Amino acid sequence: MSLPSFITTIFAQATNTAAAVSTGTATGDSPAQPQQPTWMTPLMLMLIVAAVYFSMIRPQQQAKKKAEETIRGVKTGDKVVTTSGIHGVVSNVKDTTVIVKIADNVKIEIEKSHIDKITRPESSSGSEKPVAAKA
């Protein structure tokens, strides 16, 4: 059972129980249904919050942390692509910015946070190894 259908089922059961109690059908005309323990509602709420955290929030935080570490590790000679699509080679690294050579005698200074992809040349073979900067 997927998470959205599980959540929908829980909310439907809670709505049906609340409607039955408010109309009096839970205690009057229909056969008696077992009452849900009072600790069950907060438990279900905590389970929903935990499911949302572990399925959505935590993976985003981990991807952001990994991207920041990769960008922090940019070095001279790395080929980069910026978020605006500029391709170049890093010629100098500063605290928060990098100097990128985009053509002969053309260098620009950009913020490290605007680096989208990094490709590092491997020293042993002539190939290049892509490094994902943003997730």
pLDDT in tens, 3-48: 667 677 777 776 776 566 555 555 555 567 788 888 888 999 999 9
pLDDT computed for residue 2 by the predictor: 66
pLDDT computed for residue 31 by the predictor: 64
The Cα-based distances of 131 to 17, 70, 106 in angstroms read 53, 8, 25
pLDDT > 70: what percent of the chain? Answer: 73
pLDDT computed for residue 36 by the predictor: 80
pLDDT computed for residue 127 by the predictor: 57
pLDDT computed for residue 124 by the predictor: 52
- Using N-to-C axis directions, what is the helix angle for 3-23 and 40-52, rounded to 10°? 150
For 23, residues 6+ apart whose C-beta sits below 8 A from its C-beta are: none
Pairwise CA distance, residues 113 & 98, whole Å: 10
pTM over 0.95: no
- Beta carbons of 115 and 71 less than 8 angstroms apart: yes
